[in-house]
């Protein structure tokens, strides 16, 4: 498994995880939500709209784990905190 990259802080605006992490689009990604706020993970060629509600919700508040995986061959991956008032922190690594 690849080395974990520096943490990525997420606010309510969308962050392109491929650009922020340097992981090539299409490479698999393993990640972990380390913050208290929910993180929303979406695969999309273009940045999702502000009101977009699909995707994967990742939270340590509902489960004892907060991991996610993006499979090989996936399109660009976007993430944000689901809270307008709270940021969260995720960590990613190419797998």
At residue 87, the 3 state secondary structure works out as coil
Which CATH fold topology does 8-94 show? Answer: Jelly Rolls (2.60.120)
Average the pLDDT over 65-77 and give the result. 90
pLDDT at 73 exceeding the cut of 70: yes
Name the band, by pLDDT with cuts 50, 70 and 90, for residue 5.
Answer: confident
Say what the pLDDT of residue 64 is: 53
By mean pLDDT, which of 23-27, 31-35, 79-83 is the weakest?
31-35
Would you kindly state where each structural domain of the chain is located, as residue ranges? 8-94
**pLDDT > 70? residue 63:** no
65: pLDDT strictly greater than 70: no
What 3-state DSSP class applies to 21? Answer: helix
């Amino acid at each position: 498994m690849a080395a974990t990259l520096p943490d990525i802080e997420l606010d309510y605006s969308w962050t392109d995880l491929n650009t922020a992490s340097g992981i090539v689009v299409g490479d698999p990604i393993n990640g972990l939500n380390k913050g208290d706020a929910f993180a929303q993970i979406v695969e999309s060629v273009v940045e999702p709209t502000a009101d977009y509600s699909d995707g994967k919700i990742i939270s340590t508040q509902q489960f004892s784990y907060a991991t996610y995986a993006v499979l090989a061959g996936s399109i660009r991956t976007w993430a944000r905190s689901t809270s307008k008032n709270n940021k969260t922190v995720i960590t990613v690594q190419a797998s």
